Amino acid sequence: MSARDQLAEAVSAAVAVVARRDGIDLAIAPRDVHLERPARREHGDWSTNVALAAAKRAGTSPRSLAGALAAVLGAEPPPHVTTVDVAGPGFVNFRLDDGWLHDALAQELRQGEEGYARPDVGHGERVQVEFISANPTGPIHVGNGWWGSYGDALARVLARAGHVVSREYYVNDTGGQIRALGESLLARRHGREVPEGGYRGQYLADLAPSYGGLDDVTAAGRWAADRILDHIRSTLASIGIVFDQWYSQASIEESGAVDETIALLAEQGLVFEEDGATWFRASELGDARDRVLRKSDGDATYLAGDLAYHRDKFLVRGFDRVIDVFGADHHGQVASLVAGVEALGVSPDRLEVKLGQMVSVMDGDEAVKMGKRAGTAIDLDTVIADLGPDATRILSLMTSLDQATTFDLAQVREQSVENPVFYVQMASARIGGVGRKATERGVVRAPLDQVDLSLLLHPRELELIRCLEELPEVVAEAAADRAPYKVTTWVRRLAASFHGFYHDCPILAGDVDPALTQARLWLVEGARIGLAIGLGLLGVAAPEAM
């Protein structure tokens, strides 16, 4: 049992003691005891606000309840607790001896890469994460790639935190953009000017000579989209993004699912006809205005297809939760989609929409412009070829999805500590180097149960263990907040802690006591496990050499 769990149980038991003694109707289960690490180390190792949360029910002041709890806890301290203090308006702070960190390291080492940092916050919830879903009208550009890294990393985090996850790409392979793609392809094929609003990228000029089908814009568009989609698959696979399902919008329309969905909405009185078009009364469900489902020319709108698609997600395939990752330019569609899902009888809190903000690319002092139709978009392929897949993934996961991002290609190319990608992977390489040096010198790591981890008392050692001990909590928070960047932040902090330990704590030097060498070798293994888990959640390799 972790120190955190032991403290939670002790606090819960102390509440019960105080309640019985004072005749208070108060009980708090261990799972409901909130514990956190104080921002300032001098305030202790752990702190709980249980007195602040329960004082009103107890009919007393928070500080008075905190004092009573501290007295009970101090009389029979939990394992490793040395002092229990009351701070501020009613916080109970705990200071622990270093043994709790040694126990935490031993627990991590016993559980290993497969078992450590698997907080079961998902409890088997079936979650579908739909992300990227870019129109197959051109190569994946940097913005789509950035949001793709987010979606994939989120899926990895959720899976490690106890969810059952399915990754899906919604292929927009029908409608006006496919016809525009076909028109552009045929224009290139016959040496004509690409029509206004068409696609002008070099990728289409390269495809055009291979097309030998009919001069039909839909057929030509579908043909081009299939080949572009193959390229998209290859690009995404090169940075570790693989989907469980590629779901065709055309298949939804051709199956009759759109008509069925519109009919279901009509049965509820939420559909009307006007100006030859079919409308959804979305304003009755919180949207700013009503929305068209089928245009006067008979084409279904994107919303109609999307509602049919989400009906399939929730009511046919039975996902408990759906997380859609959209670009910021789709923000106007969110209210309509939520309204439609609710109209289909699905609780709207089962649908989450995450909006990725603008991604700007610099190359030194020069801004790189992006625009798919104009053919000026910077392809994700180009960035991957320039920086490598690992650097691309780490960079795209350094900030929150809802923050606009600017990154400089020139800076990332530099192999220096100023480059966060290099700094993290150098820690992994140093870990690999320790293993190689040990092998060269004939030093064999002893079994864990024969090693005294309590010898790890240097501030650098203890700080590294503290960082490793936090990983399960980081994974749980990243899952709950849908924030993979929290893992990136932790990985960078772990790298910094390891570099400090590596610099100040010799491992294989001749003047280091052999027992301490063994303890430090196991600490290096703990760092390897933590870094492998963290980088794995980000979809990044942990290199053994650089």
Residue 202: the pLDDT is 87
CB within 8 Å of 388: residues ≥ 6 apart: none
Alpha carbon distance 245, 242 (integer Å): 9
**Residue 248, token pair as written in the block:** 């065709």
pTM of the predicted model, to two decimals? 0.91
- The whole-number pLDDT of residue 365 equals 62
* Residue 488 to residue 154: CA distance in whole angstroms: 12
- Residue span(s) of the chain under CATH 3.40.50.620 come to 131-250+357-413
The structure tokens 């929409």 sit at: 353
Which option is the CATH number for 420-538: 3.60.15.10, 3.30.43.10, 1.10.730.10, 3.40.50.720? 1.10.730.10
**Cα 102 to Cα 511: distance, rounded to the nearest angstrom:** 23
β-strand partners of 384: none
Give dist(CA 133, CA 131) in Å, integer.
6
CB-based contacts of 276, cutoff 8 Å, min separation 6: 296
Within the chain, all domains assigned CATH 3.30.1360.70 are found at 3-97
- What is the amino acid identity at position 273? E
Cβ atoms 487, 359 nearer than 8 A: no
Q: Quote the DSSP letter at residue 314.
A: I
Q: Report the candidate in 81, 2, 40, 32 with the shortest Cα–Cα distance to residue 470.
A: 2
What is the CATH number assigned to the segment(s) 3-97? 3.30.1360.70
Residue 395's closest CA among 367, 375, 420? 420
Q: What pLDDT is attached to residue 370? A: 46
Compute the distance between CA of residue 53 and CA of residue 68 in angstroms, rounded to an integer.
15
10-residue mean pLDDT profile of the chain (546 residues): values are 92 95 92 92 92 92 95 95 94 96 98 97 97 90 86 98 97 87 94 90 91 93 94 94 93 91 95 95 94 92 93 97 90 92 96 87 61 58 87 88 77 68 91 96 96 98 98 97 97 97 96 97 98 96 86
Q: Which residue has the tokens 């298949």?
A: 251
Per DSSP, helices labelled H in 126-285 are: 142-160, 176-189, 202-207, 217-238, 249-255, 257-267
User: What are the residues facing 502 on neighbouring strands?
Assistant: none
The hierarchical CATH code for the domain 131-250+357-413 is: 3.40.50.620
Distance separating alpha carbons of residues 141 and 383, to the nearest angstrom? 9
* Tokens found for residue 239: 């940075």
